[in-house]
Amino acid sequence: MESRKLALEEASGATIELTKVCVRDLTRERDWTPPPGCVLTDDRSEIVGNPDIDLVVEVAGGVTDAKEVVMGAIKAGQDVVTANKALIAAFMPEIEAALEDSDSQFGFEAAVMGGIPIIQAMQNDFVGDRIIRMQGIMNGCTNFMLTKMAATGCSYEDILGEAQELGYAEADPSLDVGGQDARSKLKILIKLAFGLPIEEDAISCHGITKITSTDFDYAKDMQGTIKLLGVAEIGNEDTKLSAYVCPAFVPSSATLANIGGATNALEIVSENLGSSLLVGQGAGRFPTANSCINDIVSCAAKTCRGKSGLTRPGACPDLTFDTDYEAGFYMRCNYKDGIGITRELGEVCEANGVSIFSMLQLPGVDAFVVITDKVKKSQMQAVVKSLATKDWVRDEPFMMPVVSEDQ
């Protein structure tokens, strides 16, 4: 920020000075030096509520302490910039209520997919449009892992170790590989795009831990790959919104199939613009810092939004949330030799109203794959639960939605 100080001040029309930085440990060595006039402290009360400080930037992470910082600053009338998606997802109604009673501006571009300007695009570029569907790769760690698994045929466990060595995955990677990190981002985007406040736990969420090299063999045979996607879309009835985070089969012809490594991407489908794609670095210190700095400039220029920033103008408040989304599904079933397997499979699918589109069996693989026509998630779950009780099934079948060619 200091290296771009003159440009930032010219863009904002204001003087921007970094005066205090609150850290947890003052004795820790750091790879940066505070600029002249900036003081390090371990007491956040020197910043939050300080009448000489106009804006507070929260990038500490966590929820409890961060909530006290953000809420305290808003109540004191200070502008706030945060990169904390977990905080916003967990306490969005409280943050909105505090902003309602305050003149504070609230910038959170860095909270969703790092350096990609998704929040700005949602707030400003779709005002005259109606968003119908969003789908995206919202977690760099899992995209790196799935890209490597597809390219090398290595197991989930081997690639997780590599991701941890390279710094893409934390020592405890559960929030990334379990899908919860992507779900927090999706909840924020749903509120912003559709104006619909929903509980985070209501969004169906499945991670990548059950994906095997066999799944990638079948995906390749089907001319596609596997991505962890966050999806939200208005259904055919035009009154219901469904959303989920889970692995999905993506055909090679789809743009998202070709987003590799730790890159993030969000595809927005709207009535006027059709398909729009935002791609970039979704995490890391510099992409995150870039988004924070842009929000600081917006606040200094008095163009950053307060409460209204959490819901896009022209959103769809009359929508209801449907937890039982509809899709075509991929189901892998690890089996033991037996008689009447195909017959029993057909009976279970028929009993649950599931129509089989195709059935695949690779040579030398003790697992077959079923692709279904579009059905409700609950119907597929019933099929999986029933098949898991069969003597010829080794373990619970694995299922994931199939992204169609026209999505």
Q: What is the pLDDT of residue 237?
A: 75
The answer on pLDDT for 248 being more than 80 is yes
Give SS3 for 284. Answer: coil
Write down the pLDDT at residue 313: 66
Domain ranges of the chain: 2-115+287-308, 119-281+316-322, 326-402
Arithmetic mean of pLDDT over the chain: 93
Residue 13 has pLDDT above 80, yes or no: yes
**Residue among 185, 227, 376, 390 flagged as catalytic:** 185
185 is annotated as an active-site residue: yes
Strand pairing category for 356-361 and 375-376: unpaired
Class of domain 326-402: alpha beta
Check residue 24 and report its DSSP letter.
S
Q: What is the CATH number of domain 119-281+316-322?
A: 3.30.360.10
Strands (E), 213-324: 224-234, 240-251, 263-270, 274-281, 320-322
State pLDDT tens for residues 44-74. Answer: 999 999 999 999 999 998 999 999 999 999 9
Give residue for tokens 């499945």.
206
Poorest-confidence range of 116-130, 219-233, 347-361, 385-399?
Answer: 116-130
Q: What is the pLDDT of residues 330-373, one digit of tens each?
A: 999 999 988 999 999 999 999 999 999 999 999 999 999 999 99
Q: Which long-range contacts (CB under 8 A, 24 or more apart) does 89-98 make?
A: 89/183, 89/184, 89/185, 89/187, 89/188, 89/200, 90/63, 90/184, 90/200, 91/63, 91/67, 92/187, 92/188, 92/191, 92/197, 92/310, 93/197, 95/70, 95/71, 95/310, 96/307, 96/310, 98/71, 98/74
Say whether pLDDT at 254 is over 70: yes
State yes or no: pLDDT of 193 exceeds 70: yes
Share of the chain above pLDDT 90, in %: 81
For residue 123, count CB atoms less than 10 angstroms from its CB and return exposed for 0-12, middle for 13-18, buried for 19 or more.
Answer: buried
Mean pLDDT of 180-194: 95
pLDDT in tens, 288-320: 999 999 999 999 999 887 766 787 766 666 788
Supply the pLDDT for residue 235. 85
* The CATH number fitting domain 2-115+287-308, selected from 1.10.760.10, 3.60.20.10, 3.50.30.30, 3.40.50.720: 3.40.50.720
